[in-house]
Amino acid sequence: MVKKPRILIVTPEVSYLPEDMGAQSRYSAKAGGLADVSAALISALFDLRCDVHVALPDYRSIFNGYSTKTHNRELEKIRKSLDEERIHLAADRAFYYLDNIYSGYSDKDLKVSLAFQREVINNIIPRVRPDIIHCNDWMTGLIPAMARQIEIPCLFTIHNIHTMTSTMAEIEDRGIDAASFWRWLFFKKPPHNYEESRGWNRVDFLTSGVFAAHYVNTVSPAFLTEIVENRHPFIETCLKNELAGKYHAGCATGILNAPDPEFNPSVDELIRYNYGPKNHRLQKAKNKRYLQKILDLEVDENAVMFFWPSRLDPVQKGCHLLAEIMYEIVTKYWDVKLQIVSVASGAFQKHFHDIVRFHGLGRRIAICGFNEALSHQAFASSDFLFMPSSFEPCGLPQMIGGIYGTLPIVYDTGGLHDTIRQLDPQNSTGNGFLFKVHDTQGFKWAIDRAMDFYFLSPEIKETQIHRIMIDSVLGFNHSRCAEDYINLYGKMLQRPFIV
């Protein structure tokens, strides 16, 4: 019998694990979209009976429920365990007592990263003996160099362009024998030799992952193309160059993420009224009234509701564009009772609150911190959602919006470009509203197009939303995502991954 290839997925975040993976599958640690994507891929591979193992930091306080900040859901109790445990927790006091995956302090995050990678390199990889290693983001950026040195094929996935740097002296002080694979690390300045570089020449973690990995993928095809074509000046030149080199060598690709399967309005336990494509019109109206009541907005199911689902980050997410036009669009569409609901955290939240208070719009605009249940309810209640990101490696809210019949208004970039097409009700094509110039005029143009759709007859709207909900479920799913990764694993191994 042919032995199945064994894969080790190394991730600093995961939101859930298949319960059959063992007694530790109850563990959950999430800071952002990477957690859901890691969970989705692991679950899909496990369902396909792949020999999949997971390396994850032992966030002891988070796993034991002492912290609620990073939990998005409680997992069911374990029904059964496998003889062979597949979840490998890296043990170190650096992350035992954390209450958040990322502290916001660079020195602490770097310490956690080095502790995690030390355990993976020194203990987990020798124990698991994988045929292929799949690393994710800067916190795993040293591992591809070690994998390259010992000739294990390694895939490096970029979910986020954030990176950190460190010297080899600091890396080795944390227990990682970087001397054995230092030639596969990416230094900020060209290294002359090991001794000369050890103390002062800093290693870039994210670029090292790209440089050393056998294959690299971003989480959308368009975002990779944009980097290679130098469309984002804020991305460091070293990362652009290494990605371009991999791309032109045929060793880089884009694989779209997919939303967590819990985002399904027909079974979502976090929304007040469940629904599907056939009864969305009635049930979304009931959900809207429910949300209006709990947020103290004017209760009217005919009020048009817009939802802001992303963190309030003006650098990437474009919340400054909404801030500039918030009063204008509410007053322009005052007669149809336009409402805005934001369920997101970030420094810009105070600015939103100030606008609402200054203009006395508390019955039209609700600004809420992030809350998982409230976010689900807003997806189920709203007519449209805002995603005016200036860049977007992938994006999940625009896909979730389609599944819930909440149509996205997006800037045409990255993963938004790959997933959203301009809605054309006359020809029954498209699933949202895109603008191509990233400024307030472009954003307002797209909002006006959404309102044009809102003013169409109920029958036309119902038909289009019914179509979009079905198309979104079929197009944005883990089976497709897992299939793309499985094909890439097979390409790296030069043999079928599933046997």
Q: Are residues 238 and 316 in the same domain?
A: no
Q: Is the pLDDT of residue 411 over 90?
A: yes
How much is the pLDDT for 11? Answer: 86
pLDDT confidence tier of residue 333, bands split at 50, 70 and 90 = very high
Q: Are residues 390 and 431 in the same domain?
A: yes
Q: Are residues 215 and 145 in the same domain?
A: yes
Looking at the chain, the whole-number percentage of residues with pLDDT higher than 90 is: 70
Q: Is the pLDDT of residue 26 over 80?
A: no
For 187-208, what is each residue's pLDDT tens digit?
Answer: 999 988 888 888 889 999 999 9
For residue 232, tell me if it sits in a domain.
yes
For 190, the token pair is: 């060209």
How much is the pLDDT for 27? Answer: 35
Q: Which of 361, 364, 300, 362 is nearest to 338 (CA)?
A: 364
More confident of the two residues 401 and 16: 401
How much is the pLDDT for 477? Answer: 86
C-alpha separations of 255 from 261, 339, 403, 470, 487 in Å: 18, 35, 20, 21, 11
Q: How far apart are CA 148 and CA 154, in angstroms?
A: 7
C-alpha separations of 367 from 111, 330, 372, 477, 483 in Å: 35, 14, 15, 30, 39
Question: In CATH, what number is assigned to the domain containing residue 465?
Answer: 3.40.50.2000
How much is the pLDDT for 1? Answer: 56
Q: Which of 98, 94, 99 is nearest to 119 (CA)?
A: 94
Q: Are residues 211 and 78 in the same domain?
A: yes
Cβ–Cβ < 8 Å for 433, 404: no
CA angle 359/366/278 to nearest 5° reads 130
Q: Are residues 243 and 351 in the same domain?
A: no
Write the DSSP string, 421-467: -B-BGGGTB-SBEEESS-SHHHHHHHHHHHHHHHTS-HHHHHHHHHH
For residue 272, tell me if it sits in a domain.
no
State the average pLDDT over residues 360-383.
97
For residue 201, tell me if it sits in a domain.
yes
For 44, the token pair is: 């899909």
For residue 398, tell me if it sits in a domain.
yes
Q: How far apart are CA 486 and CA 478, in angstroms?
A: 12
Q: Are residues 48 and 189 in the same domain?
A: yes
Q: Are residues 294 and 236 in the same domain?
A: no
For residue 269, tell me if it sits in a domain.
no
How much is the pLDDT for 60? Answer: 53
Q: If you search the block for the tokens 């591809």, which residue do you land on?
A: 144
C-alpha separations of 378 from 85, 86, 162, 334, 401 in Å: 38, 36, 29, 21, 10
Residue 55 structural domain: 6-258+479-494
State the average pLDDT over residues 453-478.
96
Q: How far apart are CA 30 and CA 423, in angstroms?
A: 34
For residue 96, tell me if it sits in a domain.
yes
Q: If you search the block for the tokens 């169409």, which residue do you land on?
A: 456
How much is the pLDDT for 481? Answer: 86
Q: Are residues 93 and 53 in the same domain?
A: yes
Q: Is the pLDDT of residue 121 over 60?
A: yes
Q: How far apart are CA 159 and CA 384, in angstroms?
A: 25
Query: In this predicted structure, which of 25-34, 371-380, 417-426, 480-489 has the lowest mean pLDDT?
Result: 25-34
For residue 395, tell me if it sits in a domain.
yes
pLDDT confidence tier of residue 81, bands split at 50, 70 and 90 = very low
Q: How far apart are CA 173 and CA 259, in angstroms?
A: 39
Cβ–Cβ < 8 Å for 89, 56: yes
Q: Which residues pair with 204 in a beta bridge?
A: 165
Q: Are residues 471 and 485 in the same domain?
A: no
State the average pLDDT over residues 38-67.
69
How much is the pLDDT for 17? Answer: 34
Q: Are residues 167 and 100 in the same domain?
A: yes
Q: Are residues 408 and 437 in the same domain?
A: yes
How much is the pLDDT for 197? Answer: 85
Helices (H), 48-105: 60-63, 93-96
For residue 266, tell me if it sits in a domain.
no
For 122-136, what is each residue's pLDDT tens digit?
Answer: 999 999 999 999 999
3 state SS of 50: coil
Q: Are residues 41 and 162 in the same domain?
A: yes
For 415-421, the CB contacts below 8 A with 24+ separation are 415/219, 415/220, 415/222, 415/223, 415/256, 415/257, 416/387, 416/389, 416/392, 417/220, 417/222, 418/220, 418/221, 418/222, 418/254, 418/256, 419/220, 419/256, 419/395, 419/475, 419/476
How much is the pLDDT for 262? Answer: 84
Instruction: Indicate the number of domains in the chain.
Output: 2
To the nearest whole number, what is the mean pLDDT of the chain? 87
For 487, the token pair is: 């094909």
pLDDT confidence tier of residue 338, bands split at 50, 70 and 90 = very high
How much is the pLDDT for 323? Answer: 97
Count CB neighbours of 401 within 10 A.
29
The answer to pTM > 0.95 is no
Q: Is the pLDDT of residue 330 over 80?
A: yes
